[in-house]
Amino acid sequence: MKVYITRRIPESGIKLLREAGHEVAVSDKDGVLTKQELVGALKEHNPDAVIPLLTDTIDAEVFDSAPQAKVFASYSVGFNHINLDDAKSRGVIITNTPGVLTDTVAEYAVSMICAMTKRIVEGDQFTKKGEYKGWAPMLLLGADLKGKTLGVLGAGRIGSRVSEIMSKGFDMNIVYYDIKENEFLNTQVNAEFRSTPEDVLKEADVVTVHVPLLDSTRHLLNADRLAMMKPSAYLVNTSRGPVIDEQALVDVLKSNKIKGAALDVYEDEPNLAPGLAELDNVILTPHIASATQETREKMSEMAAKNVIAVLSGGEPINKVE
Ligand code: DGY
């Protein structure tokens, strides 16, 4: 059967699809397909399955341009780019790639926490610019983590793993908010549940965000909630940009109402809120928290396995409902 992939992904998954006897077509555009290009490509290829990316908006128009497609197997764990109601009403199965990127994204969030509190990026820029004139007692002073409080918003797989690393590896105290308590965090990580995000924001020295993007989490960190953070606190976001009101964040960073932020995701990718890139107290990276060779190969394989399962009449491994 025919599988269409909307952009080049690691070969490992494509190999699995071909070994399973499927014909694979991959967009040859070096970039995100526009809606019109995506619809045109699907009409041209008429695939039985599609592997889209988180940068593709998948809605009724897209489903209707691939009427034969039984499954859209996203090459991502996030699925906020897919209209699940439109899929459901057409009987199209949606899958994602959970689990394989948990450790990678957690390691990245931890790296951002360290880079920010230890001022590693500023130190790098300072040194490369030739400004380092010798050791100095007050040069680029950062903050310790041991004994401080990490506030975790979203205690799913990634939030739990970050909590575990920061508790066991860095001796941080963990407080977390989610819609329900996490048994593993309570019993194995000595983390404390808080019933509101406000409680976490008021208490934490570092806040790390790991909620999925849903209607209920859009602008979870709005101006009012950002104002609740300690002036000495840091904020890290490796989940989805729209969870934070980015312009409100620029305002609190500009006026030093919080100490700093590290962002891998943005409200309107790839655009940045005006003023964000000019700030010194922020680290910005281009949505690469899951971007390791190993993990991207596993994501490719997982998307392929979901397609193979559905096209052979079975149940996909990672159905999104
Ligand atoms: C995902 O898979 O949703 C991640 O954001 C990719 O980095």
218 has catalytic annotation: no
Which ligand 1 atom sits nearest the alpha carbon of residue 97?
2
Please tell me the predicted confidence (pLDDT) of residue 214. Answer: 97
Establish whether residue 53 lines the binding site of ligand 1, counting it when its CB lies within 6 angstroms of any ligand atom: no
Collect all residues with Cβ–Cβ distance below 8 Å to 64 and sequence separation of at least 6: 90
Q: Determine which one of 22, 240, 267, 301 is catalytic.
A: 240
Establish whether residue 289 lines the binding site of ligand 1, counting it when its CB lies within 6 angstroms of any ligand atom: yes
Establish whether residue 74 lines the binding site of ligand 1, counting it when its CB lies within 6 angstroms of any ligand atom: no
Which ligand 1 atom sits nearest the alpha carbon of residue 288?
7
> Residues of the chain whose pLDDT is less than 70?
none
Please tell me the predicted confidence (pLDDT) of residue 184. Answer: 98
Helix, strand or coil, per DSSP, at residue 89 = helix
Calculate how far, in angstroms, residue 130's C-alpha sits from the geometric centre of ligand 1. 36
CA atoms within 13 A on the CB side of 155: 27
Q: Which CATH number fits domain 2-100+293-311: 3.40.50.2000, 3.40.309.10, 3.40.50.720, 3.90.25.10?
A: 3.40.50.720
Q: CA torsion angle for 276, 277, 278, 283 (degrees, to 10)?
A: 90
Establish whether residue 77 lines the binding site of ligand 1, counting it when its CB lies within 6 angstroms of any ligand atom: yes
Indicate the top mutation candidate among 105, 107, 243, 292 to test ligand 1's pocket, ranked by most ligand atoms within 8 A of CB.
105
Establish whether residue 109 lines the binding site of ligand 1, counting it when its CB lies within 6 angstroms of any ligand atom: no
Distance in angstroms (rounded) separating the CA atoms of residues 261 and 233: 9
**Burial call 240-252: b when 16+ CB within 10 Å, e when fewer:** bbbbbbbebbbbb
CATH 3.40.50.720 spans which residues of the chain? Answer: 2-100+293-311, 102-284
Please tell me the predicted confidence (pLDDT) of residue 186. Answer: 98
| 21 class by beta-carbon count within 10 Å (0-12 exposed, 13-18 middle, 19+ buried) | exposed
Establish whether residue 78 lines the binding site of ligand 1, counting it when its CB lies within 6 angstroms of any ligand atom: yes
Q: What is the pTM of this model?
A: 0.96
Task: Enter the DSSP assignment of 214.
Answer: -
Domain 102-284 in CATH 3.40.50.720? The answer is: yes
